[in-house]
Amino acid sequence: MLLAVMTLPLWAQSTDSYSLEEVLDKALERNLSLKISQQNQTLFAEQVREVKNNFLPNINLNAQHQYYFDIPTQVAPAAALGLGGEGGPEYIPLSFGLPHQTNISAQLQQVIYNPQLPVGIKAAQTGQDIAELQLRQSKEEVVYGVSSTYYQAQSVAQQINLLNQNINSIERLVKITDLLRQNDLAKSTDVERLQLNQANLSNQMANLKVTYQQLINGLKLMTNTPMSEEFAIDTEIHVQEEETLVLVDSVTRTDVALAEKQLEVQRLEEKQILAGYLPSVYATGVYGQTGFGEFDKDYYEMFPVSYVGLQLSVPIFDGLSKRSQRMQKQIQQSQTRDQIALLEQQVENEIANAVASLETQQQAVSIQKRALALAEKVYDNMQLQYKEGVSGVSDVIDSENELRQAQTDYLTAWVKLKLAELEIKQATGNLIE
């Protein structure tokens, strides 16, 4: 493919200037938004580990010491103790135990069967996939933002270069016209009109330099570069002489993939709710010591206690809460399916618009290039005719304005072409190759 390069004197060009590829690499490595997305991946990995850890046993150590001011009392039938009789009490209060009681135990619980846990692990792992897609989406946003800002900065730098040439040309005309005025071959108003035009160009130059610095600051922000650090870009621009053939072979949109993963998570969450209707089985075990004593009588003794067992939990009725939860998930899935369908339609529309825009901007660049060449020719001729006394100052100023407008239109068309190329990649999901 043939390329045309604008080889103008480069304002703000440095031997250490960054190419677009270098700025993109810098942004993908150092951008703070990407670092946050990368941390989300670590966060989701820990969530998966948390769910898996539910299969590990839970061990708890419990300790308790109690001092009873009053020993707990129980009531027993007097007849059962052989103390009942005519006229005697029917029940007799009895106090068992000692004032000091200590309980120390280690309790273990192990999941044997819980149908919700395997589904929860799958949902957490799908969350990891979502984190990866979110990171990719963040990278796409960074690539688009950096590329569009870089192209605009190149365009503004070229406008500054061209405007600087125009200012130098006007300065020469001012000197020539002033000499002609001194020889009574030109009017004072001719010099003043040229000087006014020169002042307007200088004001435009100052505004363009501010715009350029703002764009450079934007690149610094996206690459996490300190504002005080020097940052120069390659300001040469390359224009394709031949139109690019637009082929849309594959579309891999991250937003659609994200919506599909969200639908998968919602399905798993519904399965997890359904699994809540099934019984759960746990193994339990306890080993400990129970102590009784009465310090006043210098007595205290510990006795072992231990057991193992199975715990079965069978849901019977939960007040229809799971039913409502399941209905909510089904509604969410329906919404997500509609969202995916809408996204797919939007993708088709964006691709069609991007293709049409690219074709239009390719033609616009070609037209504006020819217009710029014609404006340069007219301007050169007007300057020559002015020096020969054939044309007046008004003709020179008009041709200079037309040239400046042609330069601006050409660079604007070039920026729109580069943005159209970006939009094609964005619409097809190919910003990150």
Tell which residue, 360, 372, 15, 414, has the closest CA to residue 165: 372
In this structure, how many other beta carbons lie within 10 angstroms of the beta carbon of residue 233?
Answer: 23
As a whole number, mean pLDDT of residues 413-427 equals 91
* First CA to last CA distance, the chain: 20
What residues contact residue 341 under an 8 Å CB cut-off, 6+ apart? Answer: none
Tell which residue, 41, 46, 6, has the closest CA to residue 159: 6
What pLDDT digit, counting tens, does each position of 23-57 carry?
999 999 999 999 998 998 889 889 899 999 999 99
Q: At 44, is the secondary structure helix, strand, or coil? A: helix
CA gap 159, 152 in Å, rounded: 10
What pLDDT digit, counting tens, does each position of 145-191 carry?
999 999 999 999 999 998 998 898 888 888 888 888 888 877 888 88
Tell which residue, 12, 77, 45, 147, has the closest CA to residue 425: 147
CA gap 428, 102 in Å, rounded: 71
pLDDT score at 374: 94
CA gap 416, 410 in Å, rounded: 10
Contact 234, 286 (CB under 8 A): no
CA gap 110, 285 in Å, rounded: 9
- The pTM score is 0.81
| Alpha-carbon dihedral 355, 357, 359, 363, rounded to 10 degrees | -170
Does the pLDDT value for residue 252 go beyond 50?
Answer: yes
Instruction: Between 292 and 247, name the one with better pLDDT.
Output: 292
